[in-house]
Amino acid sequence: MLGHDYPGQICSIAKALEVVGERWSLLIVRDVMNGNRRFGQLQQGLGVARNVLSARLQRLVEEDILERRPYQSSPERYEYFLTEKGLDLWPALVALLAWGDRHSPEPDGPPMLIVHKGCGGEVSDRGICESCGELLHARDARALPGPGVATGELSASASG
């Protein structure tokens, strides 16, 4: 989106958007939530330019939204994980997902479903399980391919 700040804005929405409002940032967070933790996976899945992905990941790590951890040495290779701060973006993502589903519906239904790990119920726009009524957090839910997608790549776990 932006690349920088919203000078003069005192609102926390503006402050949030300074960080996660940049183009691709929220989609990167979504993908990491869905289990895509590596540079190549993210680049291929998102179709984002590699330099831009690199810059976003760096920024998200700086902002303590993602954490970069090596999963092998020689050559060093890294994975990205969500911090608590990153996981806390889950309600915002769920709200945006629900808004998109409601107001730009796919003919065959939503392409992605969020379900409660505990009981399998669908999750509302507020991140509440529609089956058992529990107020959920990122770790309580999982993303599944919905009816609107032919063959999804969302099979990985949703826990950060």
Partner DNA sequence: CGACTCGGTTGCTTGATGCAACCTTATGTG
Partner DNA sequence: CACATAAGGTTGCATCAAGCAACCGAGTCG
Binding footprint of DNA on the chain (CB under 7 A): 1-4, 22-24, 38-41, 47-52, 54-55, 57-58, 68, 71, 74-75, 77-79
> For DNA, which is the closer residue by CB, 121 or 160?
160
Q: How far is the CB of 68 from a copy of itself (least distance, A)?
A: 19
> For DNA, which is the closer residue by CB, 74 or 151?
74
Q: How far is the CB of 41 from DNA (least distance, A)?
A: 7
For the residues of 59-109, what is the DSSP string, one character each?
HHHHTTSEEEEEEETTTTEEEEEE-HHHHTTHHHHHHHHHHHHHHS--TTS
Q: How far is the CB of 141 from DNA (least distance, A)?
A: 26
Q: How far is the CB of 90 from a copy of itself (least distance, A)?
A: 9
Determine the Cα–Cα distance for residues 91 and 124; give it in Å rounded to an integer.
10
Q: How far is the CB of 22 from DNA (least distance, A)?
A: 5
Which residues share a beta bridge with 104? none
Determine the Cα–Cα distance for residues 77 and 32; give it in Å rounded to an integer.
16
Which residues share a beta bridge with 122? 115
Binds 75: which of DNA, a copy of itself, none (CB < 5-8 Å by kind):
DNA
Determine the Cα–Cα distance for residues 155 and 131; give it in Å rounded to an integer.
22
| Contact residues for a copy of itself, defined by CB under 8 A | 1-2, 6-17, 19-23, 26-27, 30, 46-47, 85, 88-89, 91-104, 106, 110-112, 125-128, 135, 148-149, 152
Which residues share a beta bridge with 96? none
Tokens of 68: 């970069």
Q: Which helix (H) or strand (E) holds 142?
A: strand 141-145
Binds 38: which of DNA, a copy of itself, none (CB < 5-8 Å by kind):
DNA
